[in-house]
């Protein structure tokens, strides 16, 4: 019997010329997890493991054209949204989601690169919060991103993480995965906050500076799981396991001299 075709996931994000984050990380993640990846490029960045040196924005109309082309022909089962740096780009993506109504949407509110470079303009923040956040099935902010969305200080413990997650739901989010990678302790703890309950996901914390693309990779792994038909908690649990393995193997890549990428193919590239 012929095998079933893989599910299709779409990433809408910025391009990373060094290959560790953004569109490139998303497509690598989809491939590693058995999902066919399509892409809509919202911005191009000139960057490497040491930082971002330039950003070239894609015109809003061309973002729309890319989305319409993909949805007109491909059966997209899940969408992951990453770096959108301008209000116009955010509105173009939001309008496309309303127009095409994909089954699942994962929003990673990318604001700052691992190198510390700011990727989201101030005037885009309110647009993302008001127009795009309510269209996502789950948003995946790290602690600084959640604090920026709420205009407050980053959460210092799990109780504050849960509280901020609930405040983001009050703003219109359907579910919030509060990522604890910026926290401390021997475990990296993420909290899935929904209107009904809170679910804790923990994994050992690995000491490495090679964490470029971790947020992109986790959110695209969640989208891959949703595209394959799993429920949200299961998709998050599997994505958490995947990113933990990718971080643990990151030092074996030896890419660049700054914040290197995680190892997306750690389970496939046997040493």
Q: What is the DSSP annotation of 233-267?
A: HHHHHHHHHHHHHHHHTGGGT--SSSSPBP-TTTT
3-state DSSP assignment of residue 140: coil
pLDDT for 183:
60
Band (251; pLDDT cuts 50, 70, 90): confident
List alpha helices for 151-264, DSSP H: 158-170, 214-227, 232-248
Mean pLDDT, residues 5-10 taken together:
96
pLDDT for 182:
63
DSSP string, 144-199: HHHHHHHTSPPP-SHHHHHHHHHHHHHTT-S-EEEB-TTS-SSEEEEEEE-SS-EE
Beta pairing class for 187-193 and 198-204:
antiparallel
pLDDT digits (tens, 9 = 90+) for 15-38: 999 999 999 999 999 999 999 999
CA quadruple 254, 256, 261, 265: dihedral positive or negative?
A: negative
pLDDT for 52:
86
The rounded mean pLDDT for the chain is 91
Structure tokens at 220: 């695209």
In whole angstroms, give the CA distance from residue 123 to residue 125: 6
pLDDT for 40:
98
- Say whether pLDDT at 116 is over 70: no
Output 202 or 121, whichever has higher pLDDT: 202
pLDDT for 85:
85
pLDDT for 254:
86
pLDDT digits (tens, 9 = 90+) for 150-207: 989 999 999 999 999 999 999 999 999 999 876 666 788 999 999 999 999 988 878 7
Residue percentage of the chain with pLDDT more than 90: 70
In whole angstroms, give the CA distance from residue 260 to residue 10: 25
Residue ranges covered by each domain of the chain: 8-252
What DSSP element (H or E) covers 63? Answer: helix 60-73
- Say whether pLDDT at 11 is over 90: yes
In whole angstroms, give the CA distance from residue 124 to residue 233: 30
pLDDT for 172:
92
Catalytic (active-site) positions: 179, 211, 213-216
- Say whether pLDDT at 271 is over 80: no
In whole angstroms, give the CA distance from residue 109 to residue 193: 16
- Say whether pLDDT at 119 is over 80: no
pLDDT for 114:
55
Q: Which CATH architecture describes the domain 8-252? A: 3-Layer(aba) Sandwich (3.40)
The answer to whether the beta carbons of residues 197 and 248 sit under 8 Å apart is no
3-state DSSP assignment of residue 38: strand
pLDDT for 177:
97
3-state DSSP assignment of residue 138: strand
The answer to whether the beta carbons of residues 118 and 80 sit under 8 Å apart is no
pLDDT for 92:
98
Q: Considering only CA atoms, which of 131, 225, 147, 226 is closest in space to residue 179?
A: 147
pLDDT for 111:
78
Structure tokens at 172: 């219109």
């Amino acid at each position: 019997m012929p095998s079933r075709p893989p599910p299709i996931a779409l990433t809408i994000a910025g391009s990373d010329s060094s290959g560790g984050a953004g569109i490139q990380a998303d497509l690598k993640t989809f491939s590693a997890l058995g999902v066919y990846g399509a892409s809509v490029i919202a911005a191009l960045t000139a960057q490497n493991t040491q930082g971002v040196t330039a950003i070239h924005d894609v015109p809003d109309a061309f973002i729309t054209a890319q989305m319409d082309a993909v949805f007109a022909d491909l059966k997209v089962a899940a969408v992951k949204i990453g770096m959108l740096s301008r209000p116009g780009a955010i509105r173009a993506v939001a309008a496309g989601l309303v127009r095409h109504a994909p089954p699942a949407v994962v929003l990673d509110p990318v604001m700052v690169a691992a190198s510390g470079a700011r990727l989201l303009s101030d005037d885009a923040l309110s647009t993302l919060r008001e127009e795009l956040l309510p269209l996502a099935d789950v948003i995946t902010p790290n602690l600084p991103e959640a604090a920026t969305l709420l205009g407050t200080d980053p959460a210092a413990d799990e109780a504050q993480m849960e509280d901020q997650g609930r405040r983001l739901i009050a703003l219109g989010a359907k579910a919030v995965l509060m990522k604890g990678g910026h926290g401390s302790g021997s475990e990296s703890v993420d909290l899935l906050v929904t209107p009904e309950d809170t679910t804790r996901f923990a994994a050992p914390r690995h000491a490495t500076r090679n964490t470029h693309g971790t947020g992109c990779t986790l959110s695209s792994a969640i989208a891959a799981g949703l595209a394959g038909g799993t429920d949200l908690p299961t998709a998050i649990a599997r994505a958490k396991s995947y990113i933990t393995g990718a971080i643990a193997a990151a030092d074996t890549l030896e890419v660049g001299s700054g914040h290197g990428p995680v190892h997306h193919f750690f389970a496939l590239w046997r040493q």
